[in-house]
Protein backbone atom coordinates (compact mmCIF):
# COMPACT_ATOMS: atom_id res chain seq x y z
CA UNK A 1 0.00 0.00 0.00
CA UNK A 2 1.34 3.44 -0.86
CA UNK A 3 0.43 7.05 -0.21
CA UNK A 4 -0.23 7.41 -3.94
CA UNK A 5 -3.04 4.84 -3.72
CA UNK A 6 -4.62 6.87 -0.92
CA UNK A 7 -4.41 10.15 -2.80
CA UNK A 8 -5.79 8.77 -6.03
CA UNK A 9 -8.77 7.01 -4.45
CA UNK A 10 -9.70 9.74 -1.96
CA UNK A 11 -11.07 12.69 -3.89
CA UNK A 12 -11.22 16.14 -2.36
CA UNK A 13 -14.78 17.42 -2.26
CA UNK A 14 -17.23 19.06 0.14
CA UNK A 15 -14.47 21.33 1.51
CA UNK A 16 -12.64 18.30 2.93
CA UNK A 17 -15.67 17.38 5.08
CA UNK A 18 -17.34 14.02 5.40
CA UNK A 19 -20.20 13.35 3.02
CA UNK A 20 -22.00 11.37 5.71
CA UNK A 21 -25.24 12.91 6.94
CA UNK A 22 -24.52 15.60 9.52
CA UNK A 23 -26.70 17.95 11.54
CA UNK A 24 -28.33 20.25 8.93
CA UNK A 25 -27.57 23.27 11.13
CA UNK A 26 -23.86 22.40 10.85
CA UNK A 27 -23.81 22.13 7.05
CA UNK A 28 -23.46 25.87 6.48
CA UNK A 29 -20.12 27.24 5.30
CA UNK A 30 -20.77 30.46 7.24
CA UNK A 31 -20.26 31.08 10.95
CA UNK A 32 -22.06 28.58 13.15
CA UNK A 33 -24.80 29.46 15.57
CA UNK A 34 -22.78 29.11 18.76
CA UNK A 35 -25.94 29.21 20.87
CA UNK A 36 -27.17 26.11 19.08
CA UNK A 37 -23.85 24.33 19.70
CA UNK A 38 -24.03 25.32 23.37
CA UNK A 39 -27.54 23.92 23.75
CA UNK A 40 -26.87 20.62 21.98
CA UNK A 41 -23.55 19.98 23.74
CA UNK A 42 -24.72 20.87 27.27
CA UNK A 43 -27.95 18.90 26.79
CA UNK A 44 -25.89 15.92 25.67
CA UNK A 45 -23.66 16.30 28.75
CA UNK A 46 -26.74 16.19 30.99
CA UNK A 47 -28.33 13.27 29.14
CA UNK A 48 -28.34 9.60 30.13
CA UNK A 49 -25.83 8.79 27.40
CA UNK A 50 -22.81 6.90 28.72
CA UNK A 51 -20.57 9.61 27.23
CA UNK A 52 -22.36 12.34 29.20
CA UNK A 53 -19.96 12.36 32.20
CA UNK A 54 -16.91 12.65 29.91
CA UNK A 55 -18.47 15.59 28.09
CA UNK A 56 -19.43 17.27 31.36
CA UNK A 57 -15.89 16.89 32.73
CA UNK A 58 -14.35 18.33 29.54
CA UNK A 59 -16.71 21.31 29.64
CA UNK A 60 -15.79 21.93 33.27
CA UNK A 61 -12.06 21.94 32.42
CA UNK A 62 -12.63 24.42 29.58
CA UNK A 63 -14.80 26.66 31.80
CA UNK A 64 -12.13 26.62 34.51
CA UNK A 65 -9.46 27.57 31.97
CA UNK A 66 -11.32 30.64 30.75
CA UNK A 67 -12.14 31.71 34.31
CA UNK A 68 -8.47 31.36 35.29
CA UNK A 69 -6.71 32.81 32.24
CA UNK A 70 -9.39 34.83 30.44
CA UNK A 71 -10.28 34.84 26.77
CA UNK A 72 -7.36 36.96 25.56
CA UNK A 73 -4.72 34.78 27.22
CA UNK A 74 -6.16 31.45 26.03
CA UNK A 75 -5.70 29.81 22.63
CA UNK A 76 -6.38 26.53 20.86
CA UNK A 77 -4.09 24.18 18.94
CA UNK A 78 -6.03 22.83 15.96
CA UNK A 79 -4.87 20.58 13.10
CA UNK A 80 -8.13 19.32 11.59
CA UNK A 81 -7.93 15.88 13.20
CA UNK A 82 -10.80 14.09 14.90
CA UNK A 83 -9.64 14.82 18.45
CA UNK A 84 -9.10 18.52 17.74
CA UNK A 85 -12.50 18.72 16.05
CA UNK A 86 -14.18 17.37 19.19
CA UNK A 87 -12.19 19.79 21.34
CA UNK A 88 -13.04 22.75 19.11
CA UNK A 89 -16.76 21.98 19.29
CA UNK A 90 -16.56 21.75 23.10
CA UNK A 91 -14.63 25.02 23.40
CA UNK A 92 -17.18 26.88 21.27
CA UNK A 93 -20.01 25.53 23.44
CA UNK A 94 -18.29 26.94 26.53
CA UNK A 95 -17.58 30.30 24.87
CA UNK A 96 -21.29 30.66 24.17
CA UNK A 97 -22.19 29.65 27.74
CA UNK A 98 -19.77 32.29 29.07
CA UNK A 99 -21.09 34.92 26.62
CA UNK A 100 -17.66 35.24 25.03
CA UNK A 101 -18.61 34.10 21.54
CA UNK A 102 -18.42 37.41 19.66
CA UNK A 103 -14.62 37.47 19.42
CA UNK A 104 -12.53 35.25 17.18
CA UNK A 105 -11.07 32.18 18.86
CA UNK A 106 -7.28 32.42 18.80
CA UNK A 107 -5.93 29.29 17.13
CA UNK A 108 -2.58 27.93 15.98
CA UNK A 109 -2.37 25.39 13.15
CA UNK A 110 1.08 23.76 13.11
CA UNK A 111 1.44 22.44 9.57
CA UNK A 112 3.47 19.49 8.32
CA UNK A 113 5.36 19.11 5.02
CA UNK A 114 3.32 17.76 2.09
CA UNK A 115 -0.05 17.87 3.87
CA UNK A 116 -3.22 16.27 2.61
CA UNK A 117 -5.30 18.88 0.73
CA UNK A 118 -8.34 17.42 2.49
CA UNK A 119 -6.94 18.50 5.88
CA UNK A 120 -6.09 22.02 4.70
CA UNK A 121 -9.54 22.41 3.15
CA UNK A 122 -11.21 21.16 6.33
CA UNK A 123 -9.20 23.56 8.51
CA UNK A 124 -10.17 26.43 6.19
CA UNK A 125 -13.89 25.70 6.41
CA UNK A 126 -13.63 25.25 10.19
CA UNK A 127 -11.96 28.66 10.39
CA UNK A 128 -15.09 30.21 8.89
CA UNK A 129 -17.61 28.07 10.73
CA UNK A 130 -16.08 28.37 14.19
CA UNK A 131 -14.96 32.01 13.78
CA UNK A 132 -11.26 31.24 14.28
CA UNK A 133 -8.37 33.66 14.24
CA UNK A 134 -6.18 30.89 12.85
CA UNK A 135 -2.45 31.30 12.34
CA UNK A 136 -0.78 28.56 10.27
CA UNK A 137 2.89 28.02 11.15
CA UNK A 138 5.14 25.30 9.64
CA UNK A 139 6.43 22.68 12.09
CA UNK A 140 8.28 21.26 13.92
CA UNK A 141 6.06 21.82 16.93
CA UNK A 142 8.50 23.46 19.36
CA UNK A 143 9.70 26.37 17.18
CA UNK A 144 6.20 26.78 15.74
CA UNK A 145 4.70 27.26 19.19
CA UNK A 146 7.47 29.69 20.11
CA UNK A 147 6.69 31.71 16.98
CA UNK A 148 2.99 31.67 17.83
CA UNK A 149 3.64 33.00 21.33
CA UNK A 150 6.06 35.62 20.00
CA UNK A 151 3.71 36.96 17.32
CA UNK A 152 0.61 36.99 19.54
CA UNK A 153 -0.41 39.96 21.64
CA UNK A 154 -1.08 39.34 24.41
CA UNK A 155 0.94 36.14 24.47
CA UNK A 156 -1.20 33.11 25.38
CA UNK A 157 -0.77 31.75 28.88
CA UNK A 158 -2.85 28.63 28.23
CA UNK A 159 -3.40 26.55 25.08
CA UNK A 160 -6.00 23.83 24.62
CA UNK A 161 -4.50 20.64 23.18
CA UNK A 162 -6.53 17.69 21.88
CA UNK A 163 -4.27 14.98 23.24
CA UNK A 164 -5.58 11.72 24.70
CA UNK A 165 -4.14 9.24 27.20
CA UNK A 166 -3.08 6.66 24.59
CA UNK A 167 -1.17 9.22 22.50
CA UNK A 168 2.64 9.10 22.61
CA UNK A 169 4.10 10.59 25.83
CA UNK A 170 0.64 11.26 27.28
CA UNK A 171 0.53 8.51 29.92
CA UNK A 172 1.13 10.81 32.91
CA UNK A 173 -0.59 13.97 31.71
CA UNK A 174 -3.44 15.57 33.66
CA UNK A 175 -5.96 18.19 32.60
CA UNK A 176 -3.41 20.95 33.29
CA UNK A 177 0.34 20.64 32.71
CA UNK A 178 3.01 23.29 32.27
CA UNK A 179 5.21 22.78 29.25
CA UNK A 180 8.50 20.95 29.79
CA UNK A 181 11.81 22.72 30.26
CA UNK A 182 13.17 23.98 26.95
CA UNK A 183 9.71 24.44 25.45
CA UNK A 184 7.77 27.71 25.10
CA UNK A 185 6.27 28.56 28.48
CA UNK A 186 2.50 28.14 28.80
CA UNK A 187 -0.10 25.93 30.45
CA UNK A 188 -1.12 22.95 28.32
CA UNK A 189 -4.81 22.22 28.86
CA UNK A 190 -6.10 18.73 27.97
CA UNK A 191 -9.90 18.59 28.35
CA UNK A 192 -10.27 15.24 26.56
CA UNK A 193 -7.17 13.53 27.98
CA UNK A 194 -9.22 10.62 29.38
CA UNK A 195 -11.41 10.11 26.30
CA UNK A 196 -11.04 6.91 24.31
CA UNK A 197 -11.07 6.47 20.54
CA UNK A 198 -14.63 5.19 20.89
CA UNK A 199 -15.60 8.30 22.90
CA UNK A 200 -14.28 10.59 20.17
CA UNK A 201 -16.30 8.89 17.46
CA UNK A 202 -19.34 8.59 19.71
CA UNK A 203 -19.38 12.36 20.21
CA UNK A 204 -18.87 13.19 16.54
CA UNK A 205 -21.47 10.74 15.27
CA UNK A 206 -24.15 11.25 17.92
CA UNK A 207 -24.05 15.04 17.52
CA UNK A 208 -23.56 14.64 13.74
CA UNK A 209 -20.60 17.02 13.62
CA UNK A 210 -18.69 17.46 10.32
CA UNK A 211 -15.20 15.93 10.38
CA UNK A 212 -12.36 15.53 7.87
CA UNK A 213 -13.36 13.29 4.95
CA UNK A 214 -10.18 11.20 5.11
CA UNK A 215 -11.63 9.30 8.07
CA UNK A 216 -14.32 7.91 5.79
CA UNK A 217 -11.66 6.15 3.71
CA UNK A 218 -9.93 4.12 6.40
CA UNK A 219 -7.56 6.72 7.81
CA UNK A 220 -7.57 6.60 11.61
CA UNK A 221 -4.67 8.95 12.41
CA UNK A 222 -3.61 11.86 10.21
CA UNK A 223 -0.19 13.31 9.40
CA UNK A 224 1.54 14.10 6.12
CA UNK A 225 1.04 12.27 2.84
CA UNK A 226 4.46 10.61 3.31
CA UNK A 227 3.66 8.93 6.62
CA UNK A 228 -0.10 8.39 6.55
CA UNK A 229 -2.01 5.51 4.96
CA UNK A 230 -5.42 3.88 5.41
CA UNK A 231 -5.40 1.58 8.42
CA UNK A 232 -4.87 -2.05 7.26
CA UNK A 233 -7.17 -3.18 10.08
CA UNK A 234 -10.03 -1.55 8.18
CA UNK A 235 -9.42 -3.10 4.77
CA UNK A 236 -12.64 -4.53 3.36
CA UNK A 237 -12.89 -8.31 3.27
CA UNK A 238 -12.96 -8.14 -0.52
CA UNK A 239 -9.59 -6.38 -0.47
CA UNK A 240 -11.08 -3.42 -2.31
CA UNK A 241 -11.11 -0.22 -0.25
CA UNK A 242 -11.41 0.42 3.47
CA UNK A 243 -14.11 0.83 6.10
CA UNK A 244 -14.48 4.25 7.79
CA UNK A 245 -12.41 5.06 10.86
CA UNK A 246 -15.29 4.85 13.31
CA UNK A 247 -15.59 1.11 12.58
CA UNK A 248 -12.21 0.31 14.14
CA UNK A 249 -12.98 -1.98 17.09
CA UNK A 250 -9.63 -2.13 18.88
CA UNK A 251 -8.19 1.32 19.49
CA UNK A 252 -4.72 -0.10 20.11
CA UNK A 253 -4.55 -0.30 16.30
CA UNK A 254 -5.39 3.39 15.85
CA UNK A 255 -1.93 4.23 14.49
CA UNK A 256 -1.42 1.20 12.28
CA UNK A 257 -1.71 3.49 9.26
CA UNK A 258 1.02 5.80 10.48
CA UNK A 259 4.78 5.81 10.11
CA UNK A 260 6.04 7.78 13.10
CA UNK A 261 4.07 9.54 15.83
CA UNK A 262 0.49 10.73 15.49
CA UNK A 263 -0.88 14.23 15.36
CA UNK A 264 -4.60 13.48 15.37
Q: What is the pLDDT of residues 159-201, one digit of tens each?
A: 999 999 988 889 999 999 999 999 999 999 999 999 999 999 9
Mean pLDDT of 21-41: 97
- Interatomic CA distance for residues 124 and 133, integer angstroms: 11
Q: What is the pLDDT of residue 138?
A: 96
**Where does the pLDDT of residue 1 fall: very low under 50, low under 70, confident under 90, or very high at 90 and above?**
very low
DSSP string, the chain: --HHHHHHHS---GGGB--S---GGG--SS---HHHHHHHHHHHHTSSSTTHHHHHHHHHHHHHHHHHH-STTEEEE--SSHHHHHHHHHHHHHHHHTT--SSPEEEEEEE-SSB-HHHHHHHHHHHHHTTEEEEEEES-HHHHHHHHHHHSSSPPSEEE----TTSTT-TT--SEEEPPTTS---EEE-TTTT--HHHHHHHHHHTT---BGGGGGT--S--BTTTB---GGGB-TTSSSB--GGG---GGGTTTTBSS----
Its pTM stands at: 0.93
Mean pLDDT of 20-32: 96
Mean pLDDT of 193-213: 98
Mean pLDDT of 115-119: 94
The residue among 255 and 190 whose pLDDT is bigger is 190
Q: What is the pLDDT of residue 11?
A: 60
- Mean per-residue pLDDT of the chain: 92
Amino acid sequence: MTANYSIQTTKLNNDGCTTRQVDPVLETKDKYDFGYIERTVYEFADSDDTLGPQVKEALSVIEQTYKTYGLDATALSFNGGKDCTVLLHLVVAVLSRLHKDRQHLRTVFVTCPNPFPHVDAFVNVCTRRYHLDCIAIPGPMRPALQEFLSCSSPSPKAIFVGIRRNDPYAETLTHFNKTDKGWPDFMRVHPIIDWTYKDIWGFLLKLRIPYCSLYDYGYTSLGSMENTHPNPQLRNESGDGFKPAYMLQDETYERCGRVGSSVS
